[in-house]
Amino acid sequence: MAVKTLRRRIRRFTWELLPPVARNFIKFTYASVVGRVKRRRPQVEAFGASTAAEQHDQLRAQLEEVNVNVPTKLCRIMTRYGSDKGAGWHNYTTVYHHLFTNLRRKQVNLFELGIGTNNPNLASSMGVDGKPGASLRGWADYFRSGQIFGADIDQNILFNEGRIKTFHCDQLRKSAIEEMWASSPLRDEFEIVIEDGLHTFEANVSFFENSLHKIRKGGYYIIEDVKQNDLPRWRERLRSHYSVRYSEFSFCLVNLPWKFNDSDNILLVARRH
Ligand SMILES: C[S@@+](CC[C@H](N)C(=O)[O-])C[C@H]1O[C@@H](n2cnc3c(N)ncnc32)[C@H](O)[C@@H]1O
């Protein structure tokens, strides 16, 4: 066996002997140092009503400041709970920490669609090793005074725990979405709504059109995992339809460079003026 191969095997063996906490510590510390030298910024396209161009530019500039190579506190938190948002298949937590850091100590209302089923027979499953509720627990840890809500089509993974409450919802059914928003714990508006559900264009549109009214002034509505192939449809819809219908919002399509994923590491970020 070549010396090089032997060395690689020993290194991998030693790495796997380390507990996950130690591995993550080394990974994140190394990435923080290297990321400060090798910066990478997201590609951002802004949309919205022409009367509010300044707000769209502001949002775009804020998003373009993010260095996606430097892990944030939220990356560490989400990884610890087992969500793939923080330096796993996706690196969205670099953007989220940048947008939400000033809200951390506030009593935010946050809602996330998609709790993370581990039933392999359901669409958008996290697989048998997935941890249902991972990102909701991560949000509760990050927003220490926040009320955290979630929903999913899979009834079996619903749970209530501390400041977290979850609901049943099928995002393809308008009536199910309306019914959910009408339930009393969800009557207020939200600082943050994140859609991490079915991840088809039709499902995104259905939940978006029936939920945007829940966003408070200054709040965010974010769709995760927008597909490269769906970008032309999104651009067209944002430019010709949503900019007019939702003129109180700025919209940005945010393409995050990431070594593990160049197919669906795109966010749609909407901020209410
Ligand atoms: C990628 S997982 C969510 C992961 C979780 N947010 C996290 O970061 O840990 C996607 C979830 O969307 C749910 N889902 C699939 N189709 C749905 C639908 N029609 N309505 C609501 N949720 C749906 C799945 O059951 C699954 O739990």
Q: Is the CB of 115 under 6 A from ligand 1?
A: yes
DSSP state of 185: G
177 lines ligand 1 (CB under 6 A): no
H/E run at residue 168: strand 164-168
Q: Do 26 and 123 sit in the same domain of this protein?
A: no
Instruction: Tell me what pLDDT residue 1 has.
Output: 63
Is residue 212 domain-shared with residue 266, that is, in the same domain?
yes
| Containing structural domain, residue 2 | 1-38
Residues 113 and 192 in one domain: yes
Which atom in ligand 1 lies closest to the alpha carbon of residue 197?
12
Please give the average pLDDT of every successive group of 10 residues along the chain, which has 273 residues: 80 76 74 76 96 96 95 95 86 96 97 97 93 97 98 98 98 98 97 98 98 98 96 98 98 92 92 97
117 within ligand 1 shell (Cβ under 6 A): yes
Q: How far is the CA of 116 from the centre of ligand 1 (A)?
A: 5
- Residue 219 and residue 108 share a domain: yes
Do 26 and 157 lie in one domain? The reply is no
User: Which pLDDT belongs to residue 215?
Assistant: 98
- Catalytically active residues, by annotation: 199
- Closest ligand 1 atom, CA of 225? 1
- Count Cα neighbours of 14 within 13 Å in the Cβ-side half-sphere: 6
Same domain, 17 and 137: no
In whole angstroms, give the CA distance from residue 61 to residue 55: 10
Which atom of ligand 1 lies closest to the CA of 119? 25
